[in-house]
Amino acid sequence: MQTTHKYLDPVTLSRIGGMELVARLVVEGFVTGLHKSPYQGFSVEFAEHRQYMPGDEIRYIDWKVFGKSDRYYIKKFEEETNLRAYILMDTSASMNFKHSDSTITKFQYACYLSASLAYLMLKQRDSVGLALFDTDITQYIPPRGTAKHLRAIMNSLENATPGQETKLSSLFHELAKRIVRRGLVIVISDLLDEPSQVISALKHLRHQKHEVIVFHLLDHAEINFPYNGSVIFRDMENGQTLSTQADSLKDDYLNGLNQFIQTYRRGCGSSQIDYVQIDTTTPFDSALSAYLSRRK
């Protein structure tokens, strides 16, 4: 699989290449892979017997059971299947923030994370798609499982730029209606929207039987508020400014941020949604490896 892409580093891939992202919850699938399907088939792993019914294929009769009981029983199997995954990546203007020139923006971090996840899932023969969004879905690539599909995803990421404001809740509700076949939904965002509304929309995805993982990206400065003295803050999405004394604001800001994060953590946890908060100064391959190890 070609890896000469902007957001795919061969050294990084060597660190995560042996890892797997296996679905915890039931997914729908159609070919042999790593994950359990909710549908009974006649392949791979034996599940149970059921009594023969008119119309059943004779080749699935368990003749050994017939020899012992003089009754016809059909073998039922649990099919192992591939995963259909959807990466939903936030490209709103706030994702273009970085406090230090020595770090990358939240947007760039999201691109690296999306690229690595796509590579990993295609490598394990899963299907993966990509949706980029700000106030609307700006690009949607349906899930595919072929090696050349990686090029389409990488081209999309490499040509993407941060856009407008964030409208997470309405977009997630729309995607919950659009994505009819259940699978794994991976959200990568700074989640700078009303938490209760976003959580409600994420629950909509869970109601549709999708498994959901949320990677919550925040810049180190957003987490620690390293500002002092007179500071002018500018909203990256609407351009509004706020002139204030940073020292007098710091305690309230950090308390508010902690409440903001805990609301997401509790809301996701109550709905079996994996919530992963990441400081963008953490190397993305380390953050991803740590999460996959915990998940395993």
User: Could you tell me if 52 and 72 are in contact, meaning their C-beta atoms sit under 8 angstroms apart?
Assistant: yes
User: Could you tell me if 77 and 47 are in contact, meaning their C-beta atoms sit under 8 angstroms apart?
Assistant: yes
160/246 same-domain check: yes
- pLDDT tens digits, 198-253: 999 999 999 998 999 999 999 999 999 999 999 888 888 788 888 888 899 999 99
Q: Is residue 109 part of a domain?
A: yes
DSSP state of 169: H
28-32, 62-66, 85-89, 227-231, range with the lowest pLDDT: 28-32
Q: Is residue 3 part of a domain?
A: no
64/182 same-domain check: no
63/114 same-domain check: no
pLDDT recorded at residue 134: 92
54/146 same-domain check: no
Residue type, 83: L
> Once rounded to an integer, what is the mean pLDDT over residues 259-268?
98
pLDDT recorded at residue 80: 47
Q: Could you tell me the CATH number of the domain that includes residue 118?
A: 3.40.50.410
180/282 same-domain check: yes
Nearest Cα residue to 97 out of 290, 235, 240, 228: 235
Q: Is residue 1 part of a domain?
A: no
User: Could you tell me if 38 and 85 are in contact, meaning their C-beta atoms sit under 8 angstroms apart?
Assistant: no
How many domains, in total, are found in the chain?
2
Query: pTM for the full model?
Result: 0.81
pLDDT recorded at residue 139: 94
124/187 same-domain check: yes
User: Could you tell me if 132 and 85 are in contact, meaning their C-beta atoms sit under 8 angstroms apart?
Assistant: no
Q: Which domain holds residue 40?
A: 35-81
The alpha carbon of 175 is separated from its chain's Cα centroid by a whole number of angstroms, namely 13
161/290 same-domain check: yes
Percent of the chain past pLDDT 90, that is, above it, reads 51
User: Could you tell me if 215 and 187 are in contact, meaning their C-beta atoms sit under 8 angstroms apart?
Assistant: yes
74/185 same-domain check: no
Domain end call among 81, 96, 119 = 81
Nearest Cα residue to 156 out of 241, 89, 252: 89
pLDDT recorded at residue 79: 47
User: Could you tell me if 1 and 123 are in contact, meaning their C-beta atoms sit under 8 angstroms apart?
Assistant: yes
What would the 3-class secondary structure string for 224-256 be? HCCCCCEEEEECCCCCCEEEEEHHHHHHHHHHH
Q: CB under 8 Å to 9, separation ≥6 — which residues?
A: none
pLDDT recorded at residue 155: 95
pLDDT recorded at residue 189: 97
Domain end call among 43, 60, 81 = 81
Higher pLDDT, 295 or 54: 295
Measured distance CA(243)–CA(33) in Å, rounded: 55
- pLDDT tens digits, 157-204: 999 999 888 889 999 999 888 887 889 999 999 999 999 999 999 999
